[in-house]
């Protein structure tokens, strides 16, 4: 976006709406649509205030059972940019680049297919939402067994 006309009339908002194509998948998040970017930009006399909303349809694996989860992802941001970052009357702010950077940092690390997801059996790998397995269910983390042994020793000495 060209910033020259905003400097001529500080306090005037410039509204923008555009669609970013889905970036190549770089992990578990697969975009099912482009990223809708909307927002506004205002020059306040010594810097720029940008309000951005990002919206996209995505598919992420459930963090417990790995089945694909369809989600609408929406993120709102407000950023301040110093006037010195964009000097001159012909300065241009690349809102698409800013939106792409914000998107990458906003993708959720975890998704759930539903709150009660039972996940995969850690022994046989079956999806416990679909079927039960006959694997013994250990309630204790094997890495903590040494602590259980210490507690058992302590109980015997009292």
Give the DSSP per-residue string, the chain: -B-HHHHHSTT-EEEEEEEEPPPPP-SS-EESSPEEEEEEEEE-SSEEEEEEEEEEEEEEE-TTT--EEEEEEEEEEEEEEEGGGS-STT-B--HHHHHHHHHHHHS-S---S-TT---B-TTT--BTTT---------S-GGGHHHHHHHHHHHHT-
Examine the domain organization and report whether 20 and 91 are in the same domain.
Answer: yes
CA 155 from chain centre, in angstroms, equals 47
Total domain count, the chain: 2
Q: pLDDT, tens digit, for every residue of 58-92?
A: 999 999 999 999 999 999 999 999 888 887 778 88
128 and 113, same structural domain?
A: no
pLDDT of residue 158: 46
Do 111 and 149 share a structural domain? Answer: no
Residues of the chain with pLDDT under 50: 158
Residues 46 and 66 in one domain: yes
Q: Could you list the residue range(s) of the whole structural domain that residue 133 is in?
A: 118-158
What is the per-residue pLDDT for 140?
A: 67
């Amino acid at each position: 976006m060209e910033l020259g006309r905003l400097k001529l009339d500080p306090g005037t908002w410039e509204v923008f709406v555009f669609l970013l194509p889905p970036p190549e998948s770089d992990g578990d998040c697969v975009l099912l649509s482009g990223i809708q970017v909307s927002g506004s930009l205002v020059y306040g006399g010594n810097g720029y205030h940008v309000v951005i909303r990002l919206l996209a349809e995505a598919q992420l694996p459930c963090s417990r059972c790995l089945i694909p989860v369809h989600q609408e992802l929406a993120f709102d941001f407000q950023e301040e940019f110093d006037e010195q970052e964009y000097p001159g009357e012909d300065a241009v702010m690349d809102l698409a680049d800013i939106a792409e950077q914000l998107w990458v940092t906003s993708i959720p690390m975890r998704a759930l297919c539903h709150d009660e997801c039972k996940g995969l059996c850690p022994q046989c790998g079956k999806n416990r939402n679909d079927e039960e397995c006959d694997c013994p269910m250990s309630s204790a983390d094997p890495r903590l067994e040494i602590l259980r042994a210490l507690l058992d020793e302590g109980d015997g000495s009292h």
